[in-house]
Structure 1
């Protein structure tokens, strides 16, 4: 019951426990397929993939069949290609490793890239100690109530210790954490140099082609459709924010999605720019989720197009009532590229009051991306400092994550600039923490929560350049590069 640091599920096949004279290949393959098929029903596994460990430690010729090994690897390649992140062949005996072409017999090009032979002692280089299954080497206890035992049960309910597979857990573990393919700034620069703009666009296209791993039933229901700013920008049912129930309310729907941050569950709520008819829902959500900070990355109007409603009182001293939440503008601080507004919220039903900071970034052009990342990253820094300050002010009353409640982030649709802002925050947080990051993995995971996040290849390319620009400013890259 473990996952790797990227949130991938771990499956274990133990060769030592296989006795070909007792159990035919078809039984092993049926069990393996059934267990993996059950595992990928999990939304978390669909999102984060599988790591398959082929444990050969302690096995010998009496446990091994070349034909079965071929079929197992072909099964993984054919049935689970999009989900399979890595295959680790652990503790392979000498007769399996030499001659080396024996491994080549088992693998084909696409899969070969993801397969590594490692010794037991080297496993920590691939998986941290607390992620390693306890039963490597064939020491696998039988779980009397487990459905995998029932599946493999022999006559009279007896189970031979053969072909046992560790069931893949379905618990939630979707936060962004350092993965095995993370790059340091110098490697990121080299990666960008190899790909050039066209290659990065192609990398984005690979992400764009991946279908969202969930459903949109609630967004598409007739009653809720009018609450969507754009008919083609919908919320996944699996990650949508549900409004707390109220008397006489027909729906708990708002076009908003929980999104994980770096080592933080539900760090953001990605949402659309509120519509006139959803102002009340928006402020209900802010209150329900104890939000301290709202990030707005658009103007209300750009060019001749309405991008977002004026959902808060604009002038200092102004006040408006949205549903049962009264909002008072206490102060506006104007900066070169953004405005910071301090709002006081009053719940007219409970007579409670709270403060919320509203940050509006003003320097994102009508179309495309900022010409320089400096102003956006400085804006991100100001947002993070304010969030820390407000969490600290909560004191012992706040018992959640040390980084605080979710931060609401929105643009117009809630996927383009919103996704870009969140991706930069995640990547730069990881860079600061461990010195490496992976843009592709970050955006891929983000899109499993707020579908279609990062709306254009230009925004995806901007993420790369913004990170490198920041790395250079921080002295992590030479200035001449």
Structure 2
């Protein structure tokens, strides 16, 4: 078989159609990322272990030392260095997941995006696997949708270029703009020469090993402490960033005006039909079921908080889930109202995750029903011991719609202490919505101010995300009022940062981490109405028109 077109005899028109549609058919779907990870068995990445360690140092992958003029990072995959007979597809995908995810940890990259160069220049058919190329493109469009600005396929051989060009005509315009086949001589039209390595016609000396060696050498010293504690793969990143469906305020108002309350309710009904993308095996084990307040509100295995292993402990389970915030991985821990039997687990989690702020969106009793245990000393000066954690109530500040309690935590095993602030919102009925959207937004503002102040007080001891460790947010089940609070925070943060938002997109992504987040159509509609009220109060509506 000749090297010019070895793939073509095997690609009928239908196969080629399926190839392109499979690779490029759905930019922006977080679910496709989960499907890709599960399909490929990419669950836990161990960059210091073989064969992944050698693959990371192979020179195939690197992130350039410069950014493009818009501030986007530039990642490079060099196809000619791949040897299919030596390295399996699974290892290649692991390496790509790891390196790209580390690249987008930068706040600047999260803001300005990522350009991916798929360098096929100088490669021949012995370096190429159709199945691997499909998986790489699937990974890019599914795993990094919000950040991926464009994919430049450079110097593609004819046996790749011909079927691709034929089927690119079938792509939607937005996809065609983001994935482009580029000749080597034309690459400078897409990126300045000082942003391109020398072998691609640029001015940048390329050390294909340097960035990767630095990354691996420094991963233990420089890893985000939150990432180190959470026990979930670095590749599992779905931070909320503006996607293709983001709306400006004017579009948001038109959307709300067009659908009205009934249409927004129907939009929520469609969201509820989507099944969680993961599994609930740990939450359903016999020993752990009694730790769930409600039998139908469980934690996904993929995002659950794992307690640190202790001697004679049978389980690391707590009904709590990591949830991403706006441009912040693991911004929240969504959890149920603690049960008396789980008080100790709750405070262990707060300690282990470096939590500074707890948000409680329920009363302990509502309508004659127990909604949450009294898991902290209620009165000033009160002291309680939960397992090996002692909790002291130092101060209570009562406000019109919430109370703010300063708590001191003492770890009796290592004699260390920490301060935590507990906020309890008091004007939010179960299954309902707050009596005033603006009072909840003011409450949210107070919570965030305290988080910023506490992070600042940690000084150099905190080396993680600038916004700090996760905030614990809970109500009774940890999905209704908890989800509404987090969704509102995410949407208002994006509105402040970018002038855009998308409630539907935000809620759908949240539900992939804390299953069934936002319980009722009214809570979903409340998010829309609260944003509108906030915009009116801030005078943003006139500015958007």
> What TM-score bracket applies, with the shorter chain setting the length?
0.7 to 0.9
The alpha carbon displacement at 1:47 in A equals 8.9
| Residue 499 (structure 2) pairs with residue 435 (structure 1) | yes
Indicate which of 201, 207, 210 corresponds to 2:271. Answer: 207
| Partner of residue 263 from structure 1, selected from 327, 340, 343 | 327
Is the 8 Å Cα contact of residues 54 and 90 (structure 1) preserved in structure 2? Answer: yes
Structure 1 residue 133, shift from structure 2 partner: 11
Measure, in 2, the Cα distance between the counterparts of 1:237 and 1:463: 28
> Closer, same or farther in 2 for the Cα pair 1:386/1:59, shift >3 Å?
closer
Q: Which residue number corresponds to residue 321 of structure 1?
A: 385
Distance 2:238 2:364 in 1: 33
Please name the residue that 1:466 is paired with.
530
Structure 2 CA distance for partners of 1:315 and 1:435, relative to 1, 3 Å: same
**Residues 30-54 of structure 1, C-alpha deviation per residue, up to 9 Å, x if partnerless?**
55545567x49xxx94695897968
Q: Does the aligned pair in 2 maintain the 1:7–1:173 contact within 8 Å?
A: no
What are the superposed Cα offsets for residues 425-459 of structure 1, whole Å, 9 maximum, x if unpaired?
11111111222222122112211111111112211
**For the structure 1 residues 353 and 235, does the alpha-carbon distance in structure 2 shift closer, same or farther, using more than 3 Å as the test?**
same
TM-score normalised according to structure 2 size: 0.65
CA deviations 1:249-296 (Å, max 9, x no partner) are: 111110001111112221111100000110010011111111111000
Higher helix share: 2
1:115 — aligned with what?
Answer: none
- Specify which structure has the bigger relative contact order, considering alpha-carbon pairs within 8 angstroms and separated by 6 or more residues: 1
- Would the alpha carbon gap of residues 58 and 342 (structure 1) be closer, same or farther in structure 2, given more than 3 Å must change? closer
**Per the alignment, do residues 208 and 121 of structure 1 end up closer, same or farther by CA in structure 2, a change over 3 Å counting?**
farther
Aligned residues: 407
Q: How far, CA to CA, are the matches of 1:282 and 1:54 in structure 2? A: 44
1:383-406 per-position Cα deviation (integer Å, ceiling 9, x unaligned):
111111122222222222221211
Matched, 1:414 2:503: no
Separation in structure 1 between the aligned mates of residue 145 and residue 292 of structure 2, nearest angstrom: 28
SS in 1 for 2:400: coil
| Structure 1 pair 220–468 and aligned structure 2 pair: CA distance change class (3 A) | same
Q: Are the aligned partners of 1:239 and 1:450 in contact in 2 as well (CA < 8 Å)?
A: yes
Where does 1:370-449 land on structure 2 (aligned, <5 Å)? 370-449=434-513
Q: CA–CA distance in 2 between the matches of 1:447 and 1:221?
A: 22
Q: Provide closer, same or farther for how the CA distance between residues 227 and 59 of structure 1 changes in structure 2, counting only shifts above 3 A.
A: closer
In the alignment, which residue of structure 2 is the partner of 1:233?
297
- Once the two structures are superposed, residues 129-187 of structure 1 have per-residue CA deviations (whole angstroms, 9 ceiling, x without a partner) of 9xx9999x999x9x9xxxxxxxxxxxxxxxxxxxxxxxxx9834322222233222222
Pairing 1:233-252 to 2, within 5 Å after superposition: 233-252=297-316
Alignment of structure 1 residues 16-31 onto 2, 5 Å: 30-31=131-132
User: SS in structure 1 opposite 2:254?
Assistant: helix
Matches of residues 117-156 of structure 1 in structure 2 within 5 Å? none
Question: 1:280 matched to which residue of 2?
Answer: 344
TM-score by length of structure 1 reads 0.72
How far apart are the structure 2 equivalents of 1:29 and 1:442?
34
- Structure 1 stretches of 5 or more lacking a match? 78-84, 94-118, 144-168
Tell me if structure 1 keeps the 8 A contact 2:409–2:420. yes
Q: Give the match's secondary structure for 1:477.
A: helix
Q: Once the two structures are superposed, what CA deviation does each residue of 1:111-132 show, in whole Å capped at 9, x if it has no partner?
A: xxxxxxxx989979xxxx9xx9
Corresponding residue for 1:151?
none
Cα 1:268–1:54 change in 2 (3 A) is closer
CA contact (8 A) 2:118 2:154 kept: no
Name the SS for the 2:253 alignment partner: helix
1:88 corresponds to: 177
Aligned 8 A contact 1:48 1:445 in 2:
no
How far residue 379 of structure 1 moved from its aligned partner, in angstroms, is 0.4
Change (3 A) 1:56 1:395: closer
